[in-house]
Amino acid sequence: MSCLRLAEIMSELSHDSVNRFLLREKYTPQDLFDEVKEDLIFVGGTASVDDSVVDKPYRDLKKTELLGYFWSGKHKRTVKGLNLITLYYTDIAGNAYPVNFRIYNKQEGKTKNDYFLEMMREIREWGLEPAWVTGDSWYSSLENLKFLKNEGVGFLFGVANNRKVSQEKGQEVQVQTLEIPDSGLVVYLKEFGWVKVFRQVHPAPQRLRSTQTTHSARVQASP
């Protein structure tokens, strides 16, 4: 949302006053957490990581800080915009709020996985104790899985179809080649340990007028 659009919605504010407010205030991820923490049960919930791109097709890369090219799930291609990484928390009563965030900044030399680990460490420092963490395949790196395992947190992440696992030592195969029942299949993930994988079925888009489905896998480990 632009300063101009916000001023249109809130008629008592001017575009300039909104802009000055944003320039003056320096809000941090913890400020966001402090706004919602009174409504959350801290123990036993689920933290979910995801990222989205705020399209900025007409902005000049040289004149706009934090602007870059990122893969967009909406457009199914790389687009110019801002990449927002958000950590959501849903407590055991069903209350759900964003509790941490990062805006991708290539000048920091960090990956989205680096930001994820930072956010997880921060929310635990702030007192949140999720029992589970979920995310798509982008966040299923070994480093992330090992961190969660060491923290005693269960996880459910997407994994790439070519991720290698084994049912018997020394016999690695791509996860997409496995026959995975609805109840899941226990396999060994190299350099990590035993996990359970599930096959996720995605209905084909209606515009294709097809009954075909696509598949992806999700990997789970309990705390």
pLDDT at 212 over 60: no
Tell whether 29 is covered by a domain. no
What's the confidence (pLDDT) of residue 92? 97
Tell whether 88 is covered by a domain. no
CA–CA distance, 139 with 144 (Å, rounded to integer)? 7
CA–CA distance, 223 with 212 (Å, rounded to integer)? 36
The overall pTM is greater than 0.85: no
What's the confidence (pLDDT) of residue 214? 40
Tell whether 193 is covered by a domain. yes
Domains held by the chain: number:
1
Helices (H), 57-208: 112-125, 142-150
Output 122 or 51, whichever has higher pLDDT.
Answer: 122
Mean pLDDT confidence for 139-152: 94
Q: How many CB atoms lie within 10 A of CB 88?
A: 17
Provide the pLDDT confidence category of residue 76 given band limits of 50, 70 and 90: confident
Mean pLDDT confidence for 15-37: 76
Tell whether 160 is covered by a domain. yes
Tell whether 113 is covered by a domain. no
What's the confidence (pLDDT) of residue 17? 62
pLDDT at 33 over 90: yes
Q: How many CB atoms lie within 10 A of CB 132?
A: 18
H/E run at residue 81: strand 77-90
Tell whether 186 is covered by a domain. yes
pLDDT at 69 over 70: no
- Supply 49's token pair: 């990581």
Tell whether 149 is covered by a domain. no
Mean pLDDT confidence for 20-32: 75
Provide the pLDDT confidence category of residue 153 given band limits of 50, 70 and 90: very high
Highest-pLDDT range among 19-33, 144-158, 208-222 = 144-158
CA–CA distance, 90 with 124 (Å, rounded to integer)? 14
What's the confidence (pLDDT) of residue 6? 54
The boundaries of the domain holding residue 211 are 155-223
Tell whether 110 is covered by a domain. no
Closest CA to 32 of 142, 126, 163, 116: 126
What's the confidence (pLDDT) of residue 56? 73
Number of alpha carbons in the 13 Å side-chain half-sphere of residue 111: 8
Burial-class residue 220 by CB neighbours within 10 Å (0-12, 13-18, 19+). Answer: middle
Mean pLDDT confidence for 155-164: 91
